[in-house]
Amino acid sequence: MTDIIDKANEAAEIQLAHAIETAKARPHPHLIKGRCNYCGESVVDYFCDADCRDDYEREQKIKQLNGRG
C-alpha cells in the first residue's frame, strides 16, 4: 500500500521532470547556436561544455549586478 508521502514524492518528481524539459526546450534568443557563446569554438549547441556555460552565466550575473547587462 502506497502512503501519502510516496504519492506526494512521485508527483513532485513528475513536476520537476516536466519543468526541466520545459527549460531545456526554451529557446535562447540572446545566444548563438553553433558557436560556443563563451569561448567561440564551433559547437553543435550553445556552449562547448558545462564549464563554458557556467563561466558565461557567472559573467552575465556579474554584468547584471554592475548594471552592464
Note down the domain range covering 56. Answer: 4-65
pLDDT-based confidence at residue 22 (cuts at 50, 70, 90): confident
Q: Which helix (H) or strand (E) holds 55?
A: helix 50-65
Confidence bin at 2 (pLDDT 50/70/90): confident
Q: Give backbone dihedrals phi and psi of 10, rounded to 5 degrees, phi first.
A: -65, -45
| Number of compact structural domains in the chain | 1
Contacts by 29-35, CB closer than 8 A, 24 or more apart? none
User: Residue 16 has which C-alpha cell?
Assistant: 520537476
Phi/psi for 22 (5° steps) reads: -65, -45
pLDDT for position 39? 96
Output the average pLDDT for the chain. 88
Give the count of beta carbons closer than 10 Å to the beta carbon of residue 28: 10
